[in-house]
């Protein structure tokens, strides 16, 4: 059974929703899944100053915070994070920056990895965010499992072969669920083959 860590950061709920869809699809494909958020690093006063942000923190209080132990446990990683000024949010980078010890010990190597993102505008950083995270995962020695155009759902849900990218305001249609599900299932399948 492939062990998948679905690790997300979300301020307003989009990436949380995407991560949940991916986790459900991976479980249905037979994977053992941990759905995890990265720790919020914004000051409490800032979080509480926005109703939607505060509400998501409360709604997701039951989701465990990702730890280095989760990274060692998993055979595969699916990261989901919004675009922030053309790149990944500092909350996600802060978690990544705690993993130097595991990286040094070779414990992040040879795991399958895939990335999803979201942004306000379709051409304001989706690919940059996804590719930027993949750059880090190449440092770790992960095996990138991008969806490519290996299923018709990819083209139907925006046509991003690097990883599903959600544009704010778009509906979570059946096509979107199918594209996220395909990406998650493909990651589980290929990571199982890598593990052998």
Residues of this chain that interact with ligand FMN (CB under 6 A) are 10-15, 82-86, 118-121, 124-125, 168
Nearer to ligand FMN, 7 or 108 (CB): 7
Smallest distance from ligand FMN to CB 87, Å:
8
What would the two tokens of residue 41 be?
């690093």
Nearer to ligand FMN, 55 or 109 (CB): 55
Q: Is 75 helix (H, G, I), strand (E, B) or coil?
A: coil
Smallest distance from ligand FMN to CB 141, Å:
28
Smallest distance from ligand FMN to CB 110, Å:
29
Rounded to 10 degrees, the C-alpha dihedral 26/64/120/126 comes to: -60
Q: Where are the alpha helices (DSSP H) in the chain?
A: 14-28, 44-48, 51-59, 68-73, 90-96, 100-104, 126-140, 152-156, 174-195
Smallest distance from ligand FMN to CB 15, Å:
3
What would the two tokens of residue 92 be?
């996600």
Nearer to ligand FMN, 143 or 180 (CB): 180
């Amino acid at each position: 059974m492939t062990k998948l860590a679905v690790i997300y950061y979300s301020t307003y709920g989009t990436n949380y929703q995407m991560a949940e869809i991916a986790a459900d699809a991976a479980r249905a494909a037979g994977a053992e899944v941990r759905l995890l958020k990265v720790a919020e690093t914004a000051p409490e006063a800032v979080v509480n100053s926005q109703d939607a942000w505060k509400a998501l923190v409360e709604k997701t209080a039951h989701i465990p915070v990702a730890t280095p132990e989760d990274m060692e446990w998993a055979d595969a990683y699916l990261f989901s994070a919004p675009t922030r000024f053309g790149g990944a949010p500092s909350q996600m980078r802060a978690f990544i920056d705690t993993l130097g010890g595991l990286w040094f010990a070779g414990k992040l190597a040879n795991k399958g990895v895939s990335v999803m993102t979201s942004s306000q505008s379709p051409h304001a950083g989706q690919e940059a965010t996804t590719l930027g995270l993949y750059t880090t995962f190449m440092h770790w020695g992960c095996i990138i499992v991008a969806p490519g155009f290996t299923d018709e759902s990819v083209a139907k849900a925006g046509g991003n072969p690097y990883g599903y990218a959600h544009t704010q305001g778009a509906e979570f249609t059946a096509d979107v669920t199918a594209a996220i599900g395909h990406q998650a299932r493909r990651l589980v399948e290929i990571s199982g083959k890598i593990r052998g």
